Structure formats: structure tokens, C-alpha cells
Amino acid sequence: MIKNTMFGSKNSSNLSLNTSQWASESFQKSQALASALDNSNSLNSGSTFVSKSSSQSQASAILSANPNPNPYLTSAAIVPDFNADGKTDKLWVNTQTGEIIVRLMDGTRVIEQGSLGNFDLSAYDYKIADFNNDGKTDFLLRNRTTGENSIVLMDGTRVANAASLTSVDTAWTPSIGDFNGDRKTDIFWHNSQIGENAIWEMDGTTVLNATVLDTTDPALTATIVDFDGNGKSDIFWRNQTTGDNSVWFMDGAQKSEFSLQSQDAAWTASVGDFNGDLSTDLLWRNTQTGENKVWAMRGILVTEGALGTLDSSWTSKIGDFNGDGKTDIFWHNGTTGANTAWLMDGTTVATEAFLPSNSASLTPSLGDYNGDGKTDIYWRDQTAGADNIWTINDTTAVETPISDADKLTPEWYTF
Ligand SMILES: [Ca+2]
Ligand SMILES: [Ca+2]
Ligand SMILES: [Ca+2]
Ligand SMILES: [Ca+2]
């Protein structure tokens, strides 16, 4: 039934798509590289999709496709890798037609391309995941208008399997994580209007257990993390008005709740693993003052370290530019086009890499396109289509243009 298109049917009628919203979501999605990152409505994934006590040789074999020691940064549930070769692949969306295509990458080369069909982008939202733990990125597709949900298991540019799940009222937003530690992506559902919560533990396209959790204050937002580093995703709750923080340590659908210290409302959190211990850490940024700091987490124990100050024209994304398993921070100045990278060692910046400047109009998306364990930067030129990739090695960047044959016109957006 599923052949050339993900869902058989298509809707290619007029799109009321707000492309700036797409760009913004794009930013959030790549920021969410390690995933857990953004807390409300785009890609929300669990921090540790692969447990460190790996008794499963198949998973180990999959992991070895990328030499980076931190599975947090290379999981196919977090960074697109549709063929499990350890090289980040590219997902493109045509904002005029709604077509979504997958491009398998080998460094700066496109080795294969496949279309997933055309979608009504004003209705559909997707999240990437790995529901069957084969190391190949899958999709959760949600129709925000009807509440319908589908899972699409990918094998390279091909759809290996697809199935519809139960519909869920449109007030609910899904996030992905791995709450029972079986390395198969689960779904956390949150109703932000009334604060209801639920978890679906997944095995491929099957919902193994659907469990309703406690209701939370609607003022709280959820971010999927793994603060204790046990390979089971946890939920970080923040009240962005009061600054109160807490955590639910999860074991499947069982939770243990703890308070964390507060952090006033001027600060917003994103996630990484800055000391490489496989426990999620927090990067706090005060967009008013430009201050930044890290909370290195070990359970509920916080080790705080202040970082440098960068004004609000800078935005951060995370990667690992020296391949040591410790998350680094890439900064792009959207006004001047300046770039810099902080190679992190826990709560301190070990090395600051002064990268070349480029046009402020270019949009960066991070991934390890050549599979050497070090994060690279894909620069999308949304105007002329003259994209290039920076292959990063510690503090140096080598720029290679995308070939003319592979250029995509401006209505195509990538994440
Ligand atoms: Ca790949
Ligand atoms: Ca998969
Ligand atoms: Ca955990
Ligand atoms: Ca690093």
C-alpha cells in the first residue's frame, strides 16, 4: 500500500505555509541535535537513546558506524541517518509543493535521493525517531488538524513499513524519548492546555503500553533529558514564568519526582552533554544580558559554570567538533555572519575556535556528513541555492560547495 508516497494519499492544495516559521522550526530542530532540546513543539527527543551498558551486539555494530564515543550525538533518533552508515543525511521540504525528499549524504556528495510524497505542510508535523532500533531514522507524522498519527519506518530512501496509530486530540503535542531504555523510541504526550501527560512505549509501529501520567501545572513545559545517564529518558519541567525547575526520573511509565534549584525567568535552557558522561547537561542563556552558563547534571546534583557573554544576535547550536564525545557549542551571528565554536570540557570552554565569517543570510544545520565522528556544518543559501559544507576538524573548517547538479531552488528548506 505504501509505495512512492509515505501515506498513499497526498494533499497538494494551496499551502498557507509561513516560511519564516519553517526557518524557525528548522533552527529548533537542528538545535535539538542531541535532542532533547526544545521543549514545546518541534523535535523533542530523548537524550540517551542508546544505553551504555550495551549487551546487544547488533546495536553495538550499528553504533560503530560512527566513531564518536557519545551515542547522544550520533543516534539516528536525533540526527537523520536513514541508511545507518553513520553519516548524517538530509531531509528537504518544498514549501511550494509540500514534497519531502530524503538525500543520503557521503560528505559533500549526495549519493541517493528519494521522494516521500507531497504533504499539506499547514497540517502535518513530523518528528524524527528510531522506533525499531535498527539505527535508521524513522518518522512520527502528526496531522495537527485532524489529530491523526502515523509511524513511518525508513530503510535508506525507501519506506520499509508504515502504520497508522490511534488519533490523539489536537491539544496534545508529542515528544520523543526512550523511557524504558530498550533503545526504541517512545512517545511522550503533553496537553499544554490542561497539563495532562501520557507515555506510549513503542516497539516499531506497535504501541506496547499507553499510560496516563500525573497532570502537571499548565504553566510547565517539558524537555526530554536523561539527567541520571541510565539510558532511560527523564522529563525536565520548567516554569518559565516563576523559574521553578523539577525533574521526573522515568523508568518506563513509572516516575520519581524531584525539585531542582530555580533559575529566574530571564534564562532559557537548551541541552547537551558537555562533559561526555552521557548524562544530559543544560546550557542556560540569558537573552537579555547575553550571559551563558552550564549546569553539568548528575542526577539532581548541579555543577554550575559561567561561560562567556554573547549578545542576542548570536544563536547557538550543538555538535562535537573534535570528536571527544563532549558536546561543543557553535555560535552564529545572524547579523554579522560571524561564527565561533566553543569546544567544551564540562562547565568550561577548553578551546575557542574562531571560525571564518560568512554571509549572515546563510542558515547553518549541523551533522556529521562524512561520518568521521566530528560534526560538520551545512550552510543553506536560501536565496541563490549556493550551499556549501564546512568539514570541521577541531578548530579548522574546510569549505566545499555542493555541486551544481545537487543544488536545490529557494523553495526547498532543510533541517
Ligand atoms: Ca547516512
Ligand atoms: Ca528505524
Ligand atoms: Ca534517566
Ligand atoms: Ca567536543
Q: Closest by alpha carbon to 156, among 223, 96, 105, 213?
A: 105
Q: Closest by alpha carbon to 364, among 322, 406, 314, 403?
A: 314
Per-residue pLDDT of 104-119, as tens digits, reads 999 999 999 999 999 9
Query: Residue 47: nearest ligand to its CA?
Result: 3
Distance 186 CA to ligand 4 centre (A): 28
Distance 284 CA to ligand 1 centre (A): 31
Q: Closest by alpha carbon to 100, among 152, 177, 145, 163?
A: 152
At 378 the pLDDT is 98
At 354 the pLDDT is 87
Residues in Cβ contact with 363 at an 8 Å cutoff, skipping those fewer than 6 apart = 23, 26, 27, 379, 380, 382
Distance 104 CA to ligand 1 centre (A): 5
Distance 291 CA to ligand 1 centre (A): 36
Residues of the chain with pLDDT under 70: 1-64
Q: Rounded to two decimals, what is the model's pTM?
A: 0.86
Please answer whether residues 295 and 285 qualify as being in contact, where contact means their C-beta atoms are separated by less than 8 angstroms.
no
Protein residues with C-beta less than 5 angstroms from the ion ligand 2: 130, 132, 134, 136, 138
Distance 128 CA to ligand 2 centre (A): 10
Distance 141 CA to ligand 2 centre (A): 14
Distance 105 CA to ligand 1 centre (A): 6
DSSP 337: -
As to burial, measured by CB atoms within 10 angstroms (0-12 exposed, 13-18 middle, 19+ buried), residue 346 is: middle
Measured CA to CA in angstroms, residue 84 lies from 136, 155, 243 at distances of: 5, 9, 40
Query: Residue 318: nearest ligand to its CA?
Result: 4
Cell numbers at 60, concatenated? 553495538
What does the alpha-carbon distance between residue 359 and residue 344 come to, in Å, rounded to a whole number? Answer: 26
Query: Residue 202: nearest ligand to its CA?
Result: 2
Q: Closest by alpha carbon to 250, among 224, 285, 282, 288?
A: 224
At 225 the pLDDT is 98
